[in-house]
Amino acid sequence: MSVKVGEKAPEFKGQAVVNGEFKDIKLSDFQGKWVVLFFWPLDFTFVCSTEIRGFNEHYGEFKKLGAEVVGASTDSVYTHKAWIEHGLGDVQFPLLSDTSLEVSDAYDVLVKDKGIALRGTFIIDPEGIVRSYTINDLDTGRSITETLRTL
């Protein structure tokens, strides 16, 4: 599938860590809200933790704009939970596990030969339409304030 601005976002579903617990989530759970879906390559890495903490730090601003934030990587929910408990700290939004690689592939961020995701950020409107996206290479971080501005 190819993601296009102005078209329906691919449905995602899977298990996530939400408030320290494992929970099944899907894009349609957020119907009627803006969604900022972002991908990162791997847990327990420096740039990834900086970005997740940045989204967490600005989470209240996203909420004021009517948006929910969902983070995703190809790591397991067990790895996400371990990272939260041993270094990342509390996270106010879901961290989705994409061990099947299906979500990363549907959003065109999957690096197939490595089984990890590029740094993709997708802004999806309340009707489920992709309004903006950016995809950065593995070593190129993103600006959370730019994501807020775009939203």
Active-site positions read 48
- Contact (CB, 8 A) for 36 and 147: yes
Helix (H, G, I), strand (E, B) or coil at 4: coil
Tell me how long the chain is.
151
Q: What φ, ψ does residue 42 adopt, rounded to 5°?
A: -150, 145
Helix %, strand %, coil % for the chain, to 5?
A: 30, 30, 40
> What is the rounded distance in angstroms from the CA atom of residue 137 to the CA atom of residue 24?
28
How far is the C-alpha of 118 from the C-alpha of 13, rounded, in Å? 19
Which DSSP category does 74 fall into?
Answer: S
